[in-house]
Amino acid sequence: MNSRRDFLQKITATAFSIPLVAGISPKSFSSTSLPQENDKVLRVALMGLGSYANRVADAMKDCKRAKITGVISGTPSKIKVWQARFNIPDKNCYNYENFDAIKNNPDIDAVYIITPNALHHPQCLRVAAAGKHVICEKPMSINAKEGREMVEACKKAGVHLLIGYRMHFEANTKEIVRMRSEGELGKIMFFQGLSGFIIGDPSQWRLNRELAGGGAMMDIGIYSINGSRYMVGEDPIWVTAQETKTDPVKFKEGVDETIQFQMGFPSGAVASCLSTYSMNYLDKFYLNGKKGFAEMQPSTGYGPIKSWTHKGRLDLPHVTHQTTQMDEMAGIILDGKVPMIPVDGEEGWKDMVIIDAIFEAVKTGRKVEIKYV
């Protein structure tokens, strides 16, 4: 398989279905609905027209509050194809050199940045300077310093910065977070996150340190980092980590193949996680509390998500994640809606602080204190 996209699609497509257990009535499932009376739509330009942008675009066909009105790409032939697909006029099409001109385009409210990781920072700064809201794929940047600069630039410009954490709006995820926050699992003791697949094409940008900022951790391991935070309900305060590299030709210096990492939280809860580009079928979250547990497998794939707790199966009905994400983000930007699990720039920055600490722990072999400053 050539990428994380293929992996996530395949592992979730083959997951078997198990019906809901009688008596389980998740309270958070209906929270994705949006006010019918508010017909204002978020007009979005997609920046970077690769495979994931195509997935987002297909999902947005079913959105009620968001639509594609512009595109930004360095490939003229792609722009022509997208114009035909979405009836986008020439005046709403830009390349990477001239997209600052969106400042004067009333047809575009927000730009969704879906480009290689190292480009997120400079592109975000330019979009913010143009006065447009920013939706940025994760990881938001290649380090915490750049992430902080993105947050501050958007604050200064008075625009939203949202990170593409689609799982924050997913029904099974939200139900387990609700159960934890309402005390149904008791005091949280332990979280396990397994995130990995065997990456294909060795020439792809995800294995290029300059473009990716790392390897598996930036691409797939961030799911376990972010998942630990919303599942435990706290931000970790220390980390230890160990790297394993079996193929130094494919995974060059600065491109991690496999990292095991452990985190500690203020309450005393601990986490044990794995990020890898060399093992398939790793997409699992497990949360343990003194009164119960919750488990998800697949936990972050494109769906359907499979989940169960000490009370029985959940397996809530699947809605395409990106459809829900974009409608909910429209609600945040247009209506001031507050999501159950944050998706703002501060949320993305905290993940980058943790990733920086993980890389430091790998390098030094020491326990690293995590400081959110």
Q: In whole angstroms, how large is the CA radius of gyration of the chain?
A: 20
Q: Are 171 and 316 in contact (CB under 8 A)?
A: yes
pLDDT at 14: 43
Q: Are 102 and 94 in contact (CB under 8 A)?
A: yes
Residue of 46, 32, 57, 128 lying closest to 331 (CA atoms): 32
Concerning whether 223 is annotated as a catalytic residue, the answer is: yes
pLDDT at 6: 52
Structure tokens belonging to residue 336? 């001031």
pLDDT at 39: 80
- C-alpha separations of 11 from 87, 117, 345 in Å: 34, 24, 29
- Tokens 């970790």 belong to residue: 236
Q: Which long-range contacts does 25-30 make (Cβ < 8 Å, 24+ apart)?
A: 26/171, 26/175, 26/178, 26/314, 26/316, 27/175, 27/178, 28/171, 28/174, 28/175, 28/177, 28/178, 28/340, 29/171, 29/174, 29/175, 29/316, 29/317
Which candidate in 132, 138, 306, 350 is catalytic? 138
Alpha helices in the chain (DSSP H): 4-13, 51-60, 76-86, 117-129, 144-157, 171-181, 209-212, 216, 222-232, 321-335, 345-364
The dihedral region occupied by 277, where left means phi > 0, alpha psi between -120 and 50, and beta the remainder, is alpha
CATH 3.40.50.720 domain position(s) in the chain: 18-165
Phi, psi of 176 (to 5 degrees): -65, -40
Q: Which CATH number fits domain 167-316+342-369: 1.20.120.80, 3.30.360.10, 1.10.1740.10, 1.20.1260.10?
A: 3.30.360.10
Instruction: Please calculate the CA angle 355-307-239 and round it to the nearest 5 degrees.
Output: 20
List, as one string, the DSSP characters of 285-305: EEEEESS-EEEESSSSSSS--
Q: Are 93 and 74 in contact (CB under 8 A)?
A: no
Concerning whether 138 is annotated as a catalytic residue, the answer is: yes
CATH 3.30.360.10 domain position(s) in the chain: 167-316+342-369
* Antiparallel, parallel or unpaired: β 238-244 and 188-196: unpaired
List, as one string, the DSSP characters of 234-272: S---EEEEEEE-S-TTTS-TT--SEEEEEEE-TTS-EEE
Q: Which CATH number fits domain 18-165: 3.20.20.10, 3.40.190.10, 3.40.50.720, 3.30.930.10?
A: 3.40.50.720
Which candidate in 52, 112, 223, 277 is catalytic? 223
Dmax (CA) of the chain:
59
pLDDT at 45: 98
* Residues of the chain falling short of pLDDT 50: 1-2, 5, 7, 9-37
Q: Are 330 and 65 in contact (CB under 8 A)?
A: yes
pLDDT at 1: 41
Coil/strand/helix, residue 192: strand
pLDDT at 313: 98
Task: Give pTM, 2 decimals.
Answer: 0.91
